[in-house]
C-alpha cells in the first residue's frame, strides 16, 4: 500500500526522536492521508497502537517483509470511531465476580483472594445475554477476577455463548476436578478461552503473579487445547524488549496472530506504574458489573469509569454510554477550540 508520507524509523523509539517526527508529519498532513512507518523492531507496534489511540488516528495495516515491520496509519479517526453506536454495539464485557485465586501486582481491578466476591449472578447474566442478543451484540467477554471460581460459571458461559460468540478471560489454573467437568460441558464452537501468560519462561510471569503460576498456566493452556477449545494467549508487558521476546516465543509456538493479545500494563487498580488512561483515552466498550455499567473494562473498579448504576433495560444502559461518549467528544472539541495557541 502506498502512503503519502514515509518515515524510516530504524531502531528509534518514541522516547528517542520518533515522537518529534510524528508531530512534524501530522502538521504536514490532512485527515484521511496515509502515513507509513518502517522499522527494525516489531515491538514498537504496541507503542504505535497506543499513540494512534491517544491521538485518534487509525492503524490500518501492519506487515513484515525482509525482517522489517511496516505500519500504515490513516490520519484521523476510523469510521468506527465516527459511529460510536456501531462500536458500542459490537462488544460487551461482564465482570462476573472480582475475587481471584491470584493477586497479580498489576491487576487493573484489584482482584485477589481477599477481594470480596461481587457476583453479577446467573439470573442477571441470563437477562443481559437475552437483551444483548436483541441489541445485536457481536461478542461477549466474561472476566472475573477469576470466573472459574464461580460454581455456576458453566451456566453463565452457556447463556452468553447462546447470545453471541463468547470469550472467557482466565488464568487457566483451575482446570481440574469439578471445574474440569464444567469446562468439558461448554460449547467449543462458541467459546474462546483467553489465558494469561506474560513470558516465555516462568521468571517474569511468576514475579508478577506468584511462584509456580507460569507452570500451572501453561498446563491449563495445554489442557484447554487438548479439550478442543480455541485458546488465545494474553500477555501484559512493561517494555518493548518483553514484547519482542514474547512475540518470538509465540512465533516459535505457531500461535496465530488472532490468538495473541499483547497489551501494556495500565496504571489502574493495583498497578503502581504503567500507561495512564482516562476515559477520554479509551473508546467505550460497555462493561457491566454488579454495581452498574462502566465505560471500559480497564478501570471497571474505578468510580471515574462508572457511567450508570442502572443495568436494565440494556438498551437504556447502552444509550447512556453513547450519550456519555457524545458528551466526551463535545468537551474535547470545545477544549480544542478554546486552547488554540496561535
Write down the least CB distance from residue 225 to ligand SF4, Å: 19
Q: How far is the CB of 77 from ligand SF4 (least distance, A)?
A: 30
The 136-165 site mask, x for binding ligand SF4 (CB under 6 A), equals: --------xxx-------------------
Q: β-pairing, 68-74 with 139-143? A: unpaired
Q: Is 104 in the site for ligand SF4 (CB under 6 A)?
A: yes
Rounded least distance, CB 265 to ligand SF4, Å: 10
Helix, strand, or coil (residue 67): coil
Residue among 15, 86, 285 at smallest CA distance from 277: 285
Burial 65-88 (b: 16+ CB within 10 A, else e): eeeebbbbbbbbbbeebeebeebb
Q: Is 262 in the site for ligand SF4 (CB under 6 A)?
A: no
Stretch that binds ligand SF4, among 46-54, 73-81, 97-105, 174-182 (CB under 6 A): 97-105
Coil, helix or strand for 37?
Answer: strand
State the Cα–Cα distance between residues 276 and 278, nearest whole angstrom.
7
Q: Does 102 bind ligand SF4 (CB under 6 A)?
A: yes
Cis peptide before 313 (omega within 30 of 0): yes
Answer for which of 111, 158, 194, 199 binds ligand SF4 (CB under 6 A) is 111
Q: Which of residues 169-228 bind ligand SF4 (CB under 6 A)?
A: 171, 196, 209
Query: Least distance (Å) from ligand SF4 to the CB of residue 247?
Result: 21
**Residue 238 makes contact with ligand SF4 by CB under 6 A:** no
Q: Of 5, 7, 107, 168, which one interacts with ligand SF4 (CB under 6 A)?
A: 107
For the CA atoms of 133, 139, 269, 200, the dihedral, rounded to the nearest 10 degrees, stands at 150
Q: Binding-site residue total for ligand SF4 (CB under 6 A)?
A: 13
Q: Distances from the Cα of 142 to the Cαs of 7, 55, 71, 219, in angstroms? A: 40, 29, 31, 21
Least distance from ligand SF4 to the Cβ atom of residue 195, Å: 10
How long is the chain? 342
Segment interacting with ligand SF4 (CB under 6 A) among 50-58, 101-109, 125-133, 299-307: 101-109
The Cα 133–Cα 309 span in angstroms is 21
Residues that bind ligand SF4 in the complex, under the rule CB under 6 A: 100, 102-104, 107, 111-112, 144-146, 171, 196, 209
Amino acid at each position: 500500500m502506498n502512503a503519502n508520507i514515509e518515515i524510516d524509523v530504524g531502531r528509534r523509539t518514541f522516547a528517542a526522536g520518533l515522537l518529534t517526527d510524528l508531530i512534524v508529519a501530522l502538521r504536514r498532513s490532512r485527515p484521511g492521508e496515509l502515513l507509513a512507518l518502517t522499522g527494525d523492531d516489531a515491538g514498537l507496534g504496541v507503542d504505535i497502537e497506543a499513540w494512534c489511540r491517544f491521538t485518534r488516528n487509525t492503524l490500518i495495516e501492519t506487515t513484515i517483509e525482509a525482517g522489517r515491520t511496516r505500519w500504515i496509519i490513516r490520519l484521523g479517526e476510523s469510521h468506527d470511531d465516527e459511529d460510536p453506536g456501531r462500536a458500542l454495539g459490537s462488544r460487551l464485557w461482564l465482570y462476573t465476580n472480582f475475587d481471584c485465586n491470584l493477586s497479580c501486582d498489576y491487576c487493573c481491578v484489584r482482584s485477589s483472594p481477599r477481594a470480596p466476591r461481587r457476583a453479577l449472578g446467573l439470573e442477571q447474566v441470563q437477562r443481559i445475554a437475552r437483551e444483548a442478543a436483541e441489541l445485536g451484540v457481536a461478542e461477549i467477554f466474561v472476566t472475573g477476577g477469576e470466573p472459574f471460581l464461580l460454581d455456576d460459571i458453566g451456566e453463565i458461559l452457556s447463556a452468553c455463548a447462546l447470545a453471541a460468540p463468547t470469550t472467557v478471560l482466565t488464568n487457566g489454573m483451575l482446570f481440574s476436578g469439578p471445574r474440569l467437568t464444567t469446562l468439558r460441558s461448554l460449547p467449543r464452537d462458541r467459546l474462546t478461552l483467553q489465558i494469561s501468560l506474560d513470558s516465555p519462561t516462568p521468571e517474569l510471569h511468576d514475579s508478577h503473579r506468584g511462584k509456580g503460576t507460569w507452570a500451572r498456566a501453561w498446563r491449563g493452556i495445554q489442557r484447554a487445547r487438548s479439550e478442543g477449545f480455541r485458546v488465545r494467549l494474553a500477555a501484559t508487558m512493561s517494555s518493548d524488549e518483553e514484547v519482542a521476546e514474547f512475540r518470538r516465543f509465540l512465533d516459535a509456538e505457531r500461535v496465530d496472530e488472532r490468538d495473541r493479545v499483547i497489551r501494556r500494563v495500565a496504571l489502574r487498580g493495583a498497578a503502581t506504574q504503567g500507561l495512564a488512561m482516562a476515559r477520554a483515552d479509551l473508546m467505550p466498550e460497555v462493561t457491566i458489573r454488579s454495581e452498574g455499567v462502566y465505560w471500559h473494562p480497564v478501570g471497571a473498579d474505578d468510580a471515574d469509569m462508572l457511567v450508570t448504576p442502572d443495568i436494565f433495560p440494556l438498551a437504556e444502559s447502552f444509550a447512556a454510554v453513547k450519550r456519555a461518549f457524545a458528551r466526551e467528544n463535545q468537551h474535547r472539541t470545545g477544549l480544542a477550540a478554546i486552547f488554540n495557541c496561535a
